[in-house]
Amino acid sequence: MALLAISIFLTYYFHAILMLGTVFSHFFYIPIILTALWWEKRSILVAIFLGGLVVISSVLYRPDLLTLNDYGRALMFVVIAFVVASLSEQLKGREREEKKQRDLAQRYLDVAAVLFVVIGADHTIRLVNRHGCKLLGYREEELLGRDWFTAVVPEASREGRRRDFDAAIANNAAFPGRRENPVVTRNGDELILAWQDTVFTGDDGRAAGIIGSGADITDRIRAEEALRAAHGEANLYLDIMAHDINNANAVTLGYADLLVEALEGKEREMARKLRGGISRSIKIIQNVSTIRRLHSHETTARPVDLDAVIRDEIAHHPDARIAYEGKPVRVMADDLLPEVFANLIGNSIKFGESRAEIAVRVEKGDGTVGVSVEDTGPGVPDAVKPVLFTRFARGTSARSGKGLGLYITRTLIERYGGSIRVEDRVPGHPECGAAFRFTLRSDRTPEPPVSPAPAAGRMITARP
């Protein structure tokens, strides 16, 4: 309004006072452009007013000097107002759309239950969502514009994180994957965030900053630490208990063996039952230790000599009738593989007693090795087969155990990447014996030279 008043005064001063035909109307473009920027199309009325002012003033005070130039100048005022107003309208429309998109993005970020932050290449915080402010204990205006590393990164890791940030900006690539990053709240509490970020670029294609997101996993980390501590303490108690029970069992087993040798008749049979109970106690402790090792992931698969494992297990049963044709095969397993054969051969002996014949067969396949343990015992009823390998599943005979042996066997084989099933040794006749068949992954590395094994060829251990 001040510029319009000045324009009116200048027009009157040059025409009425100085009696000059020339008015310095270039000055009039300033109010016209400003009103076009501020008022958009309404600035055309201002341009018409100023153009008309020049023409009417000339007509009133110096009509002899009125020329086509004055009409052209008035028309130019209107054209300039229209063009600038149109451009201003487009720019403001883009600004409104950008603001709408920013507000929409901000609303999306605000409803997210994780921290979202945009950090510029100069380390300043450009944007932070509502949950991030709440998590860090600041208001949004207290964080915007501040140095991210100075404001929220712990001093101990500040320089390292700053170097990683600058390297990501320089390479235009953020650190891949998720990682755990600590942050410090306004109250000085340290939180651990599951952090992931990405670099964003400007219009010139250069890295302009990093967009980061972090989920608070402090409680989970502390719970895991407490769980590990409790797990370690429980394992300590189990180790002490297993050690002491095994020592007691060893002593008791020694005395039971002496009683079996010294007694006769019914007393000897009672001593044998006592010895069997002690053996079952030892087996329970062994199963518990095996399950602990299974769930602790202490070992990883490596090449294992399958032939040596089978021969060692057969050697533990010198009185059993076991047929096995040795084959130098290596499979991917670990130190717990003998448990598979201990359970399968042990079950065949336990259920079949002295009359059962056991056959162990190994067949090489394409990347796998098939193994079967067959016996001529009482077999497995069809109703039991589907649940035989589940935890605590038991057979139907009086000799059925606690249901852990075959569960451990299945768990181990699946851990090695194989599978196991039970079938009838003679299809359709469960009473003719059981056949446990499973697969293992073969070792694809070149096999080392195999030294001659004792009792090569077909090996049969028979009862005397």
Query: Do 335 and 447 belong together in one domain?
Result: yes
Query: Distance between CA atoms of 263 and 103, rounded to whole angstroms?
Result: 92
Answer for the pair 231, 222: CB distance below 8 angstroms, yes or no. Answer: no
Q: Give the β-pairing of 179-184 and 125-128.
A: unpaired
Strands, sheet with 357-364, edge to edge from the N-terminal-most edge strand: 420-426, 429-441, 368-375, 357-364, 321-325, 458-461
What per-residue confidence (pLDDT) applies to 67? 65
Query: Do 159 and 28 belong together in one domain?
Result: no
Neighbours of 400 (CB within 10 A): 14
Query: Do 136 and 58 belong together in one domain?
Result: no
Query: Distance between CA atoms of 156 and 254, rounded to whole angstroms?
Result: 60
Q: Which residue has the higher pLDDT, 109 or 316?
A: 316
**Measured CA angle at 421 (ends 415, 423), to 5 deg:** 165
DSSP string, 274-285: HHHHHHHHHHHH
Answer for the pair 59, 26: CB distance below 8 angstroms, yes or no. Answer: no
Which of the listed residues 298, 320, 347 is the one where a domain comes to its end?
Answer: 298
**Which tokens hold the place of 91?**
């720019």
- Name the range with the highest mean pLDDT among 58-72, 84-98, 273-287, 306-320: 306-320
Query: Distance between CA atoms of 125 and 35, rounded to whole angstroms?
Result: 36
Contacts of 57 (CB under 8 A, 6+ apart): 11, 12, 15, 16, 23
284: pLDDT strictly greater than 90: no
Query: Do 289 and 307 belong together in one domain?
Result: no
What per-residue confidence (pLDDT) applies to 25? 64
Which of the listed residues 162, 186, 216 is the one where a domain comes to its end?
Answer: 216
Q: Which residue has the higher pLDDT, 190 or 64?
A: 190
Residue count of the chain, please give it: 464
Which of the listed residues 162, 189, 216 is the one where a domain comes to its end?
Answer: 216
- Weakest mean pLDDT among 133-137, 230-234, 356-360: 230-234
Query: Do 435 and 395 belong together in one domain?
Result: yes
5: pLDDT strictly greater than 60: yes
Mean pLDDT for 227-250 is 79
Mean pLDDT of the chain: 82
What confidence category does residue 400 fall into, taking pLDDT thresholds of 50, 70 and 90?
very low
What per-residue confidence (pLDDT) applies to 330? 93
What angle, 0 to 180 degrees and rounded to 10, lies between the N-to-C axes of helices 218-262 and 265-296? 160
Query: Distance between CA atoms of 266 and 457, rounded to whole angstroms?
Result: 43
Query: Do 310 and 261 belong together in one domain?
Result: no
Against a cut of 0.75, is the pTM above it?
Answer: no
CA torsion angle for 30, 31, 32, 33 (degrees, to 10)?
A: 50
- Weakest mean pLDDT among 282-296, 348-362, 387-401: 387-401
Query: Do 371 and 435 belong together in one domain?
Result: yes
Containing structural domain, residue 210:
112-216
Mean pLDDT for 76-102 is 84
How many independent structural domains does the chain possess?
A: 4
Neighbours of 36 (CB within 10 A): 26
Answer for the pair 80, 32: CB distance below 8 angstroms, yes or no. Answer: yes
Place of tokens 């038991």: 394
